[in-house]
Amino acid sequence: MNKSVLFVLMLLISSCAQTQTSPSSTNTVPSLFERIGGLPVLTVVVSETIDRSVNDPKIKRSFDGIKLSTLKQSVVDQLCVLTGGNCVYEGETMQNSHRDLKITTAEFELFVEAFRTSLNKHVGEREKNELLKILAPMKRDIVTD
């Protein structure tokens, strides 16, 4: 093998190795958390959803005496984790935190509707549907009727 063939071969091998070891962050798909707009948008959506629920006579009763700023932070942390954000959720399971509230299907649906209203304002259609898909299966742990 002459020197120039060897040189070309070495070049090929090294460019191959580089392709394989190049950082994956350059071509990873953005998480739902990122596509939503991260914590600023999640915080607004959760805040609007809870404020709307607290002012809705049909579901407000569960929020009596609850510290809303703490609840909002907890829901933001939870949704941040579930959408792929870099947060820590230290709250209770959905079952434990909602058991005593005896939440009905109708109340759950109104709460999700409040979410939908806020998501409509702040995120794209695709992101809204992906987030609603994360919330839907929680129903079985939250609703007790």
d(CA 46, CA 29): 25
CB 62 within 8 A of CB 101: yes
- Give the nearest distance from C-beta 28 to ligand HEM in angstroms: 26
Among 45, 108, 119, 127, contact with ligand HEM (rule: CB under 6 A): 108
> For residues 6 and 66, which CB has a smaller minimum distance to ligand HEM in the complex?
66
Confirm or reject binding of residue 74 to ligand HEM (CB under 6 A).
Answer: yes
- Of 54, 77, 58, the C-alpha closest to 67 is 54
CA distance 96 to 116: 25
Binding site for ligand HEM (CB under 6 A): 53, 59, 62-63, 66, 71, 74-75, 78, 91-92, 97-98, 101, 103, 107-108, 111, 135, 138, 142
